[in-house]
Chains A and B, each alone.
Chain A
Amino acid sequence: MTFLNPTDVRLEREANHPPTLILAGDRYMDIHIRQAFPLTSEHTYVAFFDREDQYLGLIINPDKLDEGSTRIIKDEIGWRYFSPQITEIISMEDRGGKAGFVTVTDRGKINISMKNLRESMVELSTNRILLTDEHGNRYEIPDVNQLDRHSKRLIRRLI
């Protein structure tokens, strides 16, 4: 079977432990989850892997599961995919391709420095930008239009 049937899937967890998957009656402890399209269809295509990193299956729209399982999946995604969202750009400088941004994100204020602006900035879709800093950390601007005027003016120079 290509995709898992939501009625066969249930998740449980104890605090601070990786979740357990109950798949058609079989229990898999310490599973982890990955998304098929973490950037373009977040929270929609979720795959389960067992303790040995063996693929167990993929479920479309985990919202169809019971509330507890949906919650666990959401938490797990939040735990695995750390991608702060930029809410404000305070300043920006570009020294021959090497760039520095001072930003405010939903996870706090951060200075982002990038080695190569051209390669570090990806426009995922119109007005949606992904920045990767020189250490490989990632930051997202979900919608340029939602930024304040000053931030918008700064980022528009680059896109």
Chain B
Amino acid sequence: MPLTSKIPSSLGETLHRKLPQDTKIRFACPTDMTQEGMFGESMLLVTTRHLVIASKKVDVWQLLHSVPLSDITHLKIEPLVGASAFTVTVNGQSVRMLRYSYASAEDMSEAVESLVHLIGKEHTDEDHFPIHEEPASDWSSRAAHLRTFRRLWVFCEPHKRSLTLAILVTISSSAIDLLPPYLTMILVDDVLTNPLRYGWLPLIVTLLAGSRLIHTGITIVSGRMLAVLGDRLAFDARSELLRVLQLLHLKYYDTQQTGGLMARIARDAKSIHYFWIDFAPQVIQQTLLVLGMTSVLFYLNWELALLVMIPIPAIIFASVKIKTYLTWFYGRSSDSWATFFDRVNDALAGIRVVKIFAQEERQSIKMHHENEKVFQAERNIHIRSRTVRPILAFVVSIGGLLVWWFGGEQVQNNEMSLGMLMAFFMYLAMFYGPIQQLTGMADWIPEMMTAITRTFEVIDSPAEEYEPPNAVTLPRIEGRIELKEVSFGYVAHQPVLKGLNLTIEPGEMIGLVGHSGAGKSTLIKLLCRFYDVEQGQILIDGIDIRRISLTELRSQIGYVEQDPFLFSGTVTDNIRFGNQDASKEKIIEAAINANAHEFVMKLPDGYDTLVGERGGRLSGGERQRVAIARAILHDPRILILDEPTSALDLETEKKIQEALGRLMQGRTTFAIAHRLSTLRDADRLLVLKDGAPVELGTHEELTAPQREYYRLVKLHTNVSSIVGVM
């Protein structure tokens, strides 16, 4: 947020030196590029009287521009390629103030908007920041980790009782482990070497067997408990992900590829399972073992125990280093997997195109290339971790060697019994084991944390606001739509629609006409509220579209896409997609009205026929008609039609046309029109050019030679006749 950005103290000092003493900062916005176009720190500052641009050069802040606000007549954000520029007009001359990457674009847009607002109104001294401010503390990774841990706990909370129980059982198995070395000591020192106690042998062996048996039983119980719990947690995480994915804003999908998301659902969600099942219980168990064994070792022989501790600092130091070292490689591996999934997903979804263009080999090479990247990334990890672990193991073994040496001497001098030395070794293994386990786990942490963080990243992405505060209920939309000065761009300050004004009466049909990229589809996306207008308003029945409950709005909008998407499932499933309670009679009725009934009846399983992935088992015209039936059954108040550009055979075309005619009756309709017949049927036509409305009227009114519409229609009919001839 630019308005709350803190000023680094070093910049504060520079400002103090260069600007008048009474200067106060109204707001500031940090950006990410220097004047030379290198990445670096720059800052836009608005003071009481000046617009200041500062840039950091070799750790020193320099003031590049300082322009009195009163001299500024115009402000402009200019979209460049890969970056944007901020320019102001001072005394009639343009001055280039600042360049910044897209990462800063949103903040800068906001800052410039505030500045426009400020220049437009009386200058006040309110809302200022003192110049001297400590820089905002960096995003602490520790805090982020802590937050992730807290989130992880939320997932586990419903199961905390069974988790605690499972962990307690696991710990008790460790307690049982303490017994065998002690029994061995008795066996060696008292039973094997003392003829009076030879008879104890069966008893000791039975005790050893018993402790082993109990240990095995407990391990099975705790393993099963944790496994069930783990699968349940992975299930919960996947469910949450899947739920959120449905609610996310379309904008999110504009920037994400499906393959990457699939990888998250399949692999990353599992990381929550790893954390609670493999990681957390292990850490607790092993830590307790280390503490327990330390006491036992010191109790048995404190001198030897001290020797054992010698390699510990080295082990801990090395583990921490290894963790940092490996984190980077795990990040690359997970990236390469995501890209791999993307490519494979792409290649398989587009397999028909690949085959038509005879590009199988090139596609294979491409996928092979991605596969190779995965291979390299994985190899990088495994080579390194497989090198590091044996070295660590060697360091650990040094402790054992010391015990042989000094412990051996003590036995030779009769200062310690052989049984005790053996017990000491057995406990030592149980001490170093957990230490190695714990250090081994150090390289799980980065992989796991990366995956967990990414899972939460999706879960935390902003969902659409389905019920805005003070939502207005509109149980039945009449269909009066007003567009008031509507402007919108996908990238800030690059409008795709500019100042659109139009009022549509209920039941009217508006044909949208224009070249591709003219803004037709964008207007439709705004009407469906996939995006919100940037400026202006869209009113439905006099109510701002942003105040209408989203569920209510969309349940009354019908959309027939250019290339309709059908879900894998039956014809029935697809027709009743928007109206799950529809009876079979209603489904047939809708299909009859959509001219789909006859062809559906000729499919082997009729309405029970599976349409395949994306409806692939049906032809384009059939898919269109199923989609129209779906829209009819949905019974929308506002209908949006995106006519397919590709020509279908005449009969199918006629059937679709008839079906559409029935569908449009009594509904406010927007049609992105390509067919001449639709254009003729429209009550009015809106001709868009570069996002701006250029003409509005009926087909007859607009068919005058000098008009844009006439030109477009002529172009279209020429193309159609060529296609016809071919």
Contact = CB atoms under 8 A, between A and B. Distances in A.
A113 B588 CA distance: 35
Interface string B590-618: 00100001101110011110100000000
B606 A37 contact: yes
B286 interface: no
A47 to B, nearest CB: 5
Interface string A28-56: 00000011111111001101010001010
Nearest to A48: B601
B589 interface: yes
Interface residues of B, number: 16
A122 B601 contact: no
B610 A122 contact: yes
B602 A37 contact: no
A154 interface: no
A34 B601 contact: yes
Interface string A74-116: 0000000000000000000000000000000000000000000
A131 to B, nearest CB: 14
Interface of B: 572, 584-585, 588-589, 592, 597-598, 600-602, 605-608, 610
Interface string A2-38: 1100000000000000000000000000000011111
A5 B601 CA distance: 19
A151 B602 CA distance: 35
Given A55-B597, A55-B598, A2 B607 contact: no
A68 to B, nearest CB: 24
A114 to B, nearest CB: 16
Contact of A38 (B585, B588, B597, B606): B606
A37 B597 CA distance: 12
Q: Which 8 pairs between the two chains have the least Cβ-Cβ distance?
A: A39-B608, A36-B606, A55-B598, A47-B601, A36-B607, A37-B607, A2-B589, A34-B601
Contacts of B592: 2
A36 B598 CA distance: 10
B572 A40 contact: yes
B588 A39 contact: no
A39 B572 CA distance: 11
A38 B602 contact: no
A36 B602 contact: no
Contacts of A41: 584
Contacts of B600: 36
A58 B602 CA distance: 13
Contact of B605 (A38, A47, A55, A58): A38
A65 interface: no
A36 B610 contact: no
Given A45-B584, A60-B585, A122-B610, A37 B572 contact: yes
A3 B606 CA distance: 16
25 contacts: A2-B585, A2-B588, A2-B589, A2-B592, A3-B585, A3-B588, A34-B601, A36-B584, A36-B600, A36-B606, A36-B607, A37-B584, A38-B608, A39-B605, A40-B572, A40-B607, A41-B584, A45-B584, A49-B601, A53-B602, A55-B597, A55-B601, A58-B588, A60-B585, A122-B610
Contacts of A49: 601
A45 B588 contact: yes
Contacts of A47: 601
Contacts of B605: 38-39
B602 A34 contact: yes
User: Which of B572, B597, B601 is packed against the most chain A CB atoms within 10 Å?
Assistant: B601
Given A34-B602, A38-B606, A60-B585, 11 more contacts: A2-B585, A2-B589, A2-B592, A37-B584, A37-B606, A38-B605, A38-B608, A40-B607, A40-B608, A41-B584, A55-B601
B596 to A, nearest CB: 12
Contacts of B597: 55, 58
Nearest to A40: B608
Contacts of A45: 584, 588, 606
B367 to A, nearest CB: 22
A81 to B, nearest CB: 9
B175 to A, nearest CB: 39
Nearest to B591: A36
B606 A35 contact: yes
Nearest to B589: A2
B148 to A, nearest CB: 36
Contacts of B606: 34-38, 45
Contacts of B601: 34, 36, 47, 49, 55, 58
B609 to A, nearest CB: 9
A45 B607 CA distance: 10
Contacts of B602: 34, 53
Contacts of A35: 606
Nearest to A124: B608
